[in-house]
């Protein structure tokens, strides 16, 4: 049985999908990641390596007060989105020249004490 805590994919993802017109993207976008979709595991990694549009979509989806009330107790959302730590993580990396291994990205975020799960 899944807990009733509002997870980011249960709250933000439907809103982001709706903002792009809803439904599946069609045959032109066969993979999960693409021009209008983004798959990530942890918020610090989203801020470190994803496109500006993906970050803006998440922040826009989480902006309404009724959503803030539902997700503010989830520490990664509270710190990364609402307290601006995501912008700090974002400034640490040049997305055009990211380290080839994810572990290097994780380590740099951990050294800055901004790693949240």
Q: Are the C-beta atoms of residues 116 and 42 closer than 8 Å to each other?
A: yes
Percent of the chain exceeding pLDDT 90 equals 59
At 26-47, the pLDDT tens digits run 666 555 555 556 767 899 999 9
**CA separation, residue 31 to residues 10, 44, 64 (Å):** 21, 22, 30
At 44-95, the pLDDT tens digits run 999 999 989 889 999 999 999 999 999 989 999 999 999 999 999 999 999 9
d(CA 88, CA 84): 7
| Average pLDDT of the residues in 19-29 | 68
**CA separation, residue 104 to residues 39, 49, 54, 93 (Å):** 19, 12, 22, 11
At 100-117, the pLDDT tens digits run 999 999 999 999 999 998
In whole numbers, what is the pLDDT of the chain averaged over residues?
84
Q: Are the C-beta atoms of residues 89 and 44 closer than 8 Å to each other?
A: yes
Burial of 109 (0-12, 13-18, 19+ CB in 10 A): buried
Per-residue pLDDT, 41: 80
């Amino acid at each position: 049985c899944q807990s009733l805590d509002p997870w980011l994919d249960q709250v933000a993802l439907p809103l982001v999908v709706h903002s792009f017109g809803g439904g599946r993207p069609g045959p032109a976008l066969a993979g999960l990641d693409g021009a209008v979709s983004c798959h990530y595991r942890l918020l610090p990694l989203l801020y470190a390596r994803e496109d500006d549009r993906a970050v803006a979509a998440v922040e826009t989806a989480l902006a309404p007060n009724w959503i803030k009330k539902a997700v503010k107790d989830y520490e990664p959302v509270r710190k990364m989105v609402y307290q601006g730590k995501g912008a700090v993580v974002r400034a640490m990396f040049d997305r055009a020249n990211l380290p080839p291994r994810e572990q290097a990205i994780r380590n740099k975020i951990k050294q800055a004490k901004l790693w949240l799960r």
